[in-house]
Structure 1
């Protein structure tokens, strides 16, 4: 009874917060989303762009990530290093992230300084100089980052796994690109990419925290609002064909002492009808210490660690299970995972589903107490899912998931004859043959 009362309270809170979003389409095509909050003294300012590595042509591989580096190397107003100094002097934090589907820049700062932070983000994202000398200085830095990644066995593992899953989709390429493409970047190429995607019609400004929405709109109009909106290039991202059969690859690496394992299935894209059922399915399997996998794999000593979840992709999404274990445990672990999947499907109860939904909603509520997490979820919903209702009515829609919806995930997607699997073992780890 208490469980359902808590769920009801959370749903009520979510309905209230959904109504608080202040959304404006600026004349130049930019989207402004403000969520004022009186429960905090902080403000998170995010600028999101619908561009990531899947939007690149082959000779541009790594360009979205490279541009993220370059934007911190000087703007029309700020010299190299000045942006970090300004934000840090105000007690704030500034950073950025590039993925396969999006790029975003963000500042978290105390509310008296949000206008200064907005000006910094405006200069950073709209007024980068892309100095030729700085481009040449940045290339070896990014190439060294790429090489360090190759020195990490888990980076190699994930890159090989995505190449195994995707044969057509650009998801098969690494975000950082390739040494041969990075070396050939020119200012002309970078500027063209920058002007094409870093512009109002391809962006969202998201601000969450102790602010007045009308005042925010006025300030945004003085900065991002005065930029020219241009047509955004139409990038054709090929759809990955349906997988037929099982794909398996084994790697040997002398740098490791335990086995690393990933297995994955194609599942609904984020935001699709079945997606909420997938989240509940994932929570039941591996959501914390009361999950099926924790009890049956971790507590019983079959694995050192495990995880599961989907990639949150707007197309060609995958659900993955990962684990590390002694190499000789490989057959036992794989067999037990498939047994647990079958047992969970056959024995699934309404109570398990309700408990999983409650845990997801509670976890989200706690995470979004931090303004940066709240802003991220809003930006992701608009930019990647392309539907703000995914954020605004997440809890309401999740509450509608029933046992039959979770069972449908098993039936439609988690097949014993259609998955991709990769195993990495020590160089002499022949026990996992």
Structure 2
């Protein structure tokens, strides 16, 4: 449904729980910034709650507090979300507040100046988290010269120099109704949401020359350059490193088989279930490497590309022992996929999928992401049927297509002097068979 035909979509999922989560998911993130404006999408996330033409910041905060409402937002590389949670009776007020801040936000030069230090302090906190920092380095290594290589917060010099005009320009260019989805989850009625959208977002004028996020991506596509970035820091107790390969976009037919492959590799935690008791071959192999502390596989998908890989934590020296097992077990599915392991991986993927939909906020996020990625919400039974349709040959096919003898990207930090070099890793993306 679209209020007054302006292109904005309305999507809901109802659960009688007495509470609602309502949000607006927008096809606008770091990917659509220029090098000089990198960080503007995240900057806006901070400023959007600083008052509107109808409410001062103080009035907005008092109203939210009096209603018992929780407002929040986040920015990713391809989308931005603004959402609120409240009891069912407050649904109209939540929609009205979201409509007001998105259409009438009062961004002043002074509010921009005031927010710089807040974002710089946030950057300091992010930089203290090895996992967050490492994946920023990974994207910079994998997508050099591409929009996806930029960080979400942006470089410090941009945070200190971004202007009100740049922020307003980004809003005018990308905050368009045809790139937005109004999402409701929880104790919500779809017809009521459509009526509220017509009432509060109906005045959102359609773009006479609409460009979709796919148009922007096509004009400036992402491509893997590959690379290797390492930050030697012997003051850190543990080494953190990531190996990643390029895969496909979220809507590609291979996406589900890649998800099964990611589940097949599994995770490992030395302080958790003993590795030799795990059904994951990766965990079994790493349990025999004393200095490996943990490993997790991941698959991150964007509009036209994706990153698949593993994130490991270990103690120096002899990081090559960890890398050796990781490379063997990552490339193994190109040749052999055990049916029992495959059944376990598919069951685990289904369980994790359902666990990720716990609560109205998680459901709203899933709806918003899927509506922007696929143009619809994929029902859980349909997704499970797709997972069931993935057989051993399909896993071997996608593993061979995206991993076997392919360039990879590496990011590492900490005492990583014993981590094998790029050529050593690249040679182990293929096996010599006789």
Instruction: State TM-score, norm by structure 2.
Output: 0.86
**In the TM superposition, what whole-angstrom CA distance separates every residue of 1:77-128 from its partner, at most 9, and x where no partner exists?**
3221443443343333221000110000111222121111111111222210
Residue in structure 1 matched with residue 313 of structure 2 by the alignment: 324
Q: 1:242 to 1:64 in 2, by over 3 A?
A: closer
Structure-2 separation of matches of 1:211 and 1:240 = 38
Contact 2:24 2:180 in 1 (8 A): yes
Residue in structure 2 matched with residue 414 of structure 1 by the alignment: 403
The reply to whether residue 101 of structure 1 matches residue 78 of structure 2 is yes
Q: 1:83 to 1:358 in 2, by over 3 A?
A: farther
Q: 1:44 to 1:170 in 2, by over 3 A?
A: same
Deviates more, 1:396-405 or 1:126-135: 396-405
Deviates more, 1:160-169 or 1:289-298: 289-298
Q: 1:184 to 1:331 in 2, by over 3 A?
A: same
Question: Residue 153 of structure 1: CA displacement?
Answer: 4.5
**In the TM superposition, what whole-angstrom CA distance separates every residue of 1:257-314 from its partner, at most 9, and x where no partner exists?**
1111110001111121111000001111115754333333257544111111111211
The reply to whether residue 34 of structure 1 matches residue 12 of structure 2 is yes
Contact 1:298 1:306 in 2 (8 A): no
Residue in structure 2 matched with residue 386 of structure 1 by the alignment: 374
Question: Residue 187 of structure 1: CA displacement?
Answer: 2.1
Question: Residue 389 of structure 1: CA displacement?
Answer: 4.8
Secondary structure of 2:55's counterpart equals coil
Residue in structure 2 matched with residue 140 of structure 1 by the alignment: 117
Count of matched residue pairs: 405
Deviates more, 1:297-306 or 1:27-36: 297-306
Structure-2 separation of matches of 1:111 and 1:164 = 46
> Map of 1:229-248 to 2, 5 A cutoff?
229-230=206-207, 231-232=209-210, 235=216, 237-241=219-223, 243=225, 247-248=227-228
Secondary structure of 1:334's counterpart equals helix
Question: Residue 254 of structure 1: CA displacement?
Answer: 4.2
**In the TM superposition, what whole-angstrom CA distance separates every residue of 1:166-199 from its partner, at most 9, and x where no partner exists?**
1231111111112322333222222121122223
Contact 2:72 2:83 in 1 (8 A): yes
Deviates more, 1:416-425 or 1:264-273: 416-425
The reply to whether residue 276 of structure 1 matches residue 253 of structure 2 is no
Name structure 1 gaps, 5 residues minimum: 1-22
Question: Residue 235 of structure 1: CA displacement?
Answer: 3.2
Deviates more, 1:180-189 or 1:290-299: 290-299
The reply to whether residue 285 of structure 1 matches residue 262 of structure 2 is no
Contact 2:28 2:80 in 1 (8 A): yes
> Map of 1:224-373 to 2, 5 A cutoff?
224-230=201-207, 231-232=209-210, 235=216, 237-241=219-223, 243=225, 247-286=227-266, 290-298=279-287, 301-373=290-362
Structure-2 separation of matches of 1:328 and 1:137 = 46
Deviates more, 1:370-379 or 1:144-153: 144-153
Q: 1:356 to 1:64 in 2, by over 3 A?
A: same
Structure-2 separation of matches of 1:205 and 1:298 = 46
Structure-2 separation of matches of 1:154 and 1:99 = 16
Secondary structure of 2:301's counterpart equals coil
Q: 1:132 to 1:326 in 2, by over 3 A?
A: same
Structure-2 separation of matches of 1:309 and 1:50 = 23
Q: 1:431 to 1:179 in 2, by over 3 A?
A: closer
Structure-1 separation of matches of 2:135 and 2:224 = 21
Deviates more, 1:104-113 or 1:364-373: 364-373
Contact 1:153 1:253 in 2 (8 A): no
Question: Residue 411 of structure 1: CA displacement?
Answer: 0.8
Question: Residue 157 of structure 1: CA displacement?
Answer: 2.9
Residue in structure 1 matched with residue 423 of structure 2 by the alignment: none
Question: Residue 46 of structure 1: CA displacement?
Answer: 1.4
Structure-1 separation of matches of 2:304 and 2:174 = 20
Please tell me the root mean square deviation across aligned C-alpha atoms, in Å: 2.4
Instruction: State TM-score, norm by structure 1.
Output: 0.86
